[in-house]
Amino acid sequence: MGFGARLDPTSRVRGGVRISEPWNLTMGRKSSIGEGATIWACAPVRIGDRTVVSQYCFLTSSQRVGTQECPMPIEIGDDVWIATESVVVGGVSVPNGVLVGARSVVSDSVDRWTIATGQPARSRREREYQGVRS
């Protein structure tokens, strides 16, 4: 990836991914970013272990407040799946175990180990899992 991005050797970034300011990106073990995803990393973007950011997702670590562009970090936990064409905005933390449904917009907190869908995304129900919650 280069330019200062901190990627675990087991992480994967697919073709056509666009990352601005890659020195602000950190990816954990066995995580991946799908084809055509866009990450505007004007503030730190941390993607945890075993996490998938699917194809054509958009992560932007800034928000406009009035006329000002305000950098705001994004924290994505472990065992998270952000499904196709979803959006995660700056200042949001997606906790461990969340499954974000396709084309959802995460602009506020959601509960850990839940399925979150909608625009804006809301926790709809607990997510089934196998193993130990992290």
pLDDT of residue 130: 64
**Contact in structure between 98 and 110 (CB atoms under 8 Å):** yes
- Residue 59, exposed/middle/buried by CB under 10 A (0-12, 13-18, 19+)? buried
| Sequence ranges of the domains in the chain | 1-43
- Residue 130, exposed/middle/buried by CB under 10 A (0-12, 13-18, 19+)? exposed
pLDDT of residue 65: 67
* pLDDT by residue, tens only, the chain of 134 residues: 557 899 999 999 999 999 999 999 999 999 999 999 999 999 999 999 999 999 999 999 987 667 777 899 999 999 999 999 999 999 999 999 999 999 999 999 999 999 999 999 999 999 877 665 55
Amino acid identity, residue 66? Answer: G
What order do you get walking across the sheet with 25-27 strand by strand?
6-7, 25-27, 45-47, 74-76, 93-94
